């Protein structure tokens, strides 16, 4: 007996899964943050690079950003599946800032949740990702 297909609402597809093309991540960011970023999965290593030329040389406050981390930095942490740790410099030494780190990690959680809703909202994207193996 062949099991029934799962409804899309029950399929979890992380933003950093290999079947997710960089263009989908870029579109998500453009729609949710309001400016473009370039995302690259490095061949062979699977590591991620996020380039945000729009913000070059200045901090930008946007959706999923915090007072200490830009939305591009939050995206990079989400893609690398790493927690964000924010440090202050006190007397020339790095000191962990628990509040700023918690705020950045909450932004990561919000970005992941938004991706989970967004990724299946478009019929063509859903079809393409299902065919790719989601």
Task: Give the residue, 128 or 11, on which the prediction is more confident.
Answer: 128
Residues 6+ apart with CB under 8 A from 8: 120, 126
pLDDT digits (tens, 9 = 90+) for 93-122: 999 999 999 999 999 999 999 999 999 999
pLDDT digits (tens, 9 = 90+) for 47-84: 999 988 665 544 556 789 999 998 999 999 999 999 99
**Ranges 23-27, 53-57, 88-92: which has the least confidence:** 53-57
What is the domain count for the chain? 1
12 in a domain, yes or no? Answer: no
50 in a domain, yes or no? Answer: yes
66 in a domain, yes or no? Answer: yes
Q: CA nearest 37: which of 5, 93, 75, 69?
A: 75
Q: CA nearest 88: which of 109, 73, 67?
A: 67
5 in a domain, yes or no? Answer: no
C-alpha angle with apex 9: 74 to 39, nearest 5 degrees? 30
The reported pLDDT for the residue numbered 132 is 80
Q: Please, what's the largest Cα pairwise distance for the chain?
A: 67
133 in a domain, yes or no? Answer: no
9 in a domain, yes or no? Answer: no
The reported pLDDT for the residue numbered 36 is 83
Q: Which two tokens stand for residue 77?
A: 């942490």
53 in a domain, yes or no? Answer: yes
Range of the domain at 108: 17-127
Q: Which two tokens stand for residue 93?
A: 């030494």
DSSP 3-state of 1: coil
8 in a domain, yes or no? Answer: no
| β-sheet bridge partners, residue 97 | none
């Amino acid at each position: 007996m062949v099991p029934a297909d799962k409804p899309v609402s029950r399929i979890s597809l992380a933003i950093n899964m290999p079947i997710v093309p960089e263009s989908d991540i870029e579109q998500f960011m453009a729609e949710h943050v309001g400016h473009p970023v370039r995302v690259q999965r490095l061949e062979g290593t699977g590591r991620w690079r996020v380039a945000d030329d729009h913000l070059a040389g200045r901090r930008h406050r946007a959706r999923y950003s915090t007072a200490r981390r830009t939305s591009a930095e939050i995206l990079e942490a989400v893609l690398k599946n790493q927690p964000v740790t924010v440090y202050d410099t006190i007397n020339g030494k790095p000191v962990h800032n628990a509040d700023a780190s918690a705020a950045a990690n909450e932004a990561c959680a919000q970005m992941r949740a938004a991706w989970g809703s967004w990724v299946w909202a478009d019929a063509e994207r859903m079809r393409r990702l299902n065919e790719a193996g989601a």
